Each structure stands twice: as C-alpha cells, then as structure tokens.
Amino acid sequence: MFNDRVKVILHSGKGGNGAISFRHEKYIEFGGPNGGNGGRGGSIYIQAKAGISSLLNYRFGKKISAMDGENGKAKLMFGKDAKDIILHVPLGTVILDENEKVLADLKKDGDIYLAVKGGRGGRGNNCFKSSTNRTPKIAENGTPGETKTFYFELRLLADVGLVGLPSVGKSTLLSVVSNAKPKIADYEFTTLTPQLGAVILDDEHSFIMADLPGLIEGAHLGKGLGLRFLRHIERCKVIIHVIDVSREDDPYESFVKINKELESYNMKLLDRKMLIALNKIDSVYSNEKVEEFKEKIKDKYKIFEISTLLKQGLKPLLYEAYRLVQESKEISLFDEETEDNDVVLGVKNEDKEIFTIERDIHGFYHILGDRVIQTYKRINVTTDQGVMKLLAYLNKIGVDDALHKMNVKDGATIILDDFEFEYYN
C-alpha cells in the first residue's frame, strides 16, 4: 500500500516541576534550600531516512505524545530530561501545518525538522536563594508541551521517471536494474502506485528511478490513472520514455501520444531531459519500423535499443541517465511569477477564504467564491491548454485536497460557475 498523505497529531512533553526542599541534617544548623530543577519535556522531531518507502506507519490519524520531564527532588537532585522522539519518514516528505502551509521539505537522508518542542523544566527553590531571602519557599512549574496537527505528504523523490503506454515494460525495466519489486503482468495498469528503486551503477554512482503508472490518451483529464499520479513526476530530473517495438502500432505515434499527455499538463514536464528506450528488441519486430522512428526523431533525443528480458543494452542507457541527472537542475512545477502569485497553498489568503465547496441535493459539488470564479472567467477553457491552466490553478489553491478530505467519490460531478468536470482521486 502506498500512503502519500497522512494526518498526524503530535504532543510534546511537559517540563518537570521544580522542587521545594530544605536541607535537614543533624549538626547542620543552617541547611538552606536544596530543591532541584525539573527535567525538560520530550520534543518530537521528523527526520527523513533512506530505506523507508511509505507513510504507512502514520495512517488513520495517529496521535503521538512524548514523555513529560521528571520533577525535581530534594538534595539538589534534578529531574531527568524526557527522551526526544524522532519520527522517520521517506525522503521527499513535505511537512504541512493544519492550514496547509509548508513547514519543511525533507529531501535528503538525515534532513530533520523540530515539530513540537518539549516544555522547559521548572527551577527548584535552590535557584531563588539570595542574601535577602535565604529560605525561599517558591519553585517553578515546568512549562507545558505543544500540541499541533501536521500533514505528512510524500512527493515521490526520484531522479529518473519511466513513462510510456501501459504494458511496454517499465516495471520489468525497474525490476532488473534496481532493488524494486514492482508488480509485473501482461495486462494494462498493473502499476497502480508509483514504485521506487535504487539503481547502483558502481560504488560511487547511483540514482533513484521511479516506475510511474501507465498513461493513456486523456490522462490529463482524469482518464486512466494519470491525473492523481502524474504529480509524482514533479521532482524527476530525467524522463525515460519506454516504447514497445514489438507492438503492431507505430512507435512514433506512441511516442507522440504520450508527449501530448505530458505537454497537456502545462507543468513543464517536457522541459526535462528525455531519453528514449526502444524495448523488446529480442522480439520479432520490423527493423524498418525502428529505422523510420529514428529518422523522425533525428538528433532531438538519444535512442537506446534494449531488452529488459535478456538484459541487453541497459548499461549505456543507465549511465547516460546518470550523466543527465548530474547536469540537470530542479524544475519548479509552477511559475513563481504568475498572475496568481499571491495565492498560497491552502484555502485561505489573508484570512479570507478563496473558495468553499458545497454539495447539492443531486450529489453535485459546487466550488464557490468570488475570487475563484473571477480567476476562472479570465481563463479560456475552450482549449486543452486553458483547461489544464484552470485545473493547475484549482490544484494550487487546494481544491483537490479539499475534495479528498470530503471523501468525494470517483466520477462525482464538480461544478465551477458554468464549467463542469468529473473528479478522479
């Protein structure tokens, strides 16, 4: 199971109370105060750790609490500090607060974020003695811990993403070049969730590869599995386009079909470096068809002929992918300088709701709000590019997350002013 978003409530520990105590020993006339300080309450940290692939441990709205600090004792005995808790999450986990504000982006192994800080221990009465007050009868209580709600969102962190039509061999390719064990079968959509694998070329060279769900025409409009999972391409620096040359259809038409899907998202997916892997060269296929494909592509993309079954031609492909990863910079999914640059992730802006969602008696969901309707009316939705611009805007202000929280079912009708579309989770 792949959990890409969970809600977690974290509570740090309270600081221990300081003690009020006086030294009482035989033959010691002026014992004085000797109350010790309380211990610090436990804090909770969130840390990215390699080797973890999902947020499964934090499902079902888990609440996690750290221990309280120990109270101070007599004889200047300080209370013990409570142990801190470190919650390990996969690389690429984004931490958001309950208002959907991004707090931390844990990309690298070891990245850590202090989520809730433990309360400070109170001082014992020994700390309050002075020349004018030799027998203080006061002490501090420990400060309380913090309770906060967080969302952990896993944005697939991969250097290289595999795309292509269903059943072209992407899962098999990932399984033979990495430690991943994706589901492999001879039917469409065997990859229902993104799969990650570490590709180790040698002791000093490696990268992360992702097998992304198969795309079909219209995936950007919610058909097939594209709409929810294509966002996981966001951090891939290099795309390997896998094409099955053993099929009867034209390889070039297949290539163009998928590229149109990537372009339709209007999210700079075609700005990434791309390699082409012509798979299943061990099968019976027309060499003339392949040569025609190469002639049409020319020098725009590098082409590699491979066989995942026989493990042929894989090393040149992988080393070239690694080289491109090292050369490539991260690509921002959305333009920072747009007409909507004052819209932040979430549903509020300057304490005003950008939108609300209401369900009518017919089961239709209406997106309401002057701001979102005004933005919609400025977008030309008569073209695919316009539709994708609108969907990108709705996703940016948090409509998709809001519908997900409302447990809206697949196929539900969503209405924004006079524009209707079907929701697919």
Query: Do 362 and 319 lie in a common domain?
Result: no
* Residue whose C-alpha is closest to residue 268's, from 211, 181, 332, 346: 332
Q: How many residues would you count in the chain?
A: 425
Instruction: Indicate whether 196 and 140 sit together in one domain.
Output: no
287 and 354 both lie in a single domain: no
pLDDT for the residue 1:
36
Provide the terminal-to-terminal Cα distance of the chain, rounded to the nearest Å.
16
342 falls within a domain: no
Say if residue 145 is in the same domain as residue 172: no
pTM: 0.50
Rounded distance between C-alpha atoms, residue 303 and residue 325, angstroms: 17
What pLDDT sits at residue 235? Answer: 65
Summarize pLDDT for 147-178 with one digit per residue, the tens: 999 999 877 567 888 888 877 888 888 888 88
Domain of residue 207, residue span: 160-327
Contact criterion met (CB below 8 Å) for 72 and 78: yes
340 in any annotated domain: no
Q: Does residue 339 lie within any of the structural domains? A: no
Which residue stretches of 287-338 are H helix?
287-297, 314-327
Let me know whether 195 and 296 are in one domain: yes
Same domain, 399 and 273: no
DSSP for residue 138: -
Q: What is the CATH number of the domain that holds 298?
A: 3.40.50.300
Q: Are residues 191 and 312 in the same domain?
A: yes
CATH code of the domain covering residue 395 = 3.30.300.350
In this predicted structure, what is the pLDDT of residue 291? 86
Mean predicted lDDT score pLDDT of the chain: 79
Q: What are phi and psi of 391, to 5 degrees?
A: -65, -35
Which residues have a Cβ under 8 Å from the Cβ of 326 and sit 6 or more positions away? none
The pLDDT value given to residue 29: 62
Q: Outline where 301-420 has alpha helix (H).
A: 314-327, 370-377, 384-396, 399-405
Q: CA distances (Å), 213 to each of 154, 158, 192, 367, in order?
A: 16, 14, 6, 29
Which regions in the chain score pLDDT beneath 70?
1-4, 26-30, 53, 60-61, 156-157, 179-194, 212-235, 264-268, 284-286, 330-353, 383-386, 424-425
Total domains, the chain: 3
Measured from the Cβ of residue 257, the count of other Cβ atoms closer than 10 Å reads: 16
Q: Report yes or no on 119 lying in a domain.
A: yes
Closest CA relative to residue 233, chosen from 216, 252, 251, 215? 215
Same domain assignment for residues 181 and 250: yes
Please state, in angstroms and rounded to a whole number, the distance separating the CA atoms of residues 345 and 96.
Answer: 10
One domain for residues 79 and 16: yes
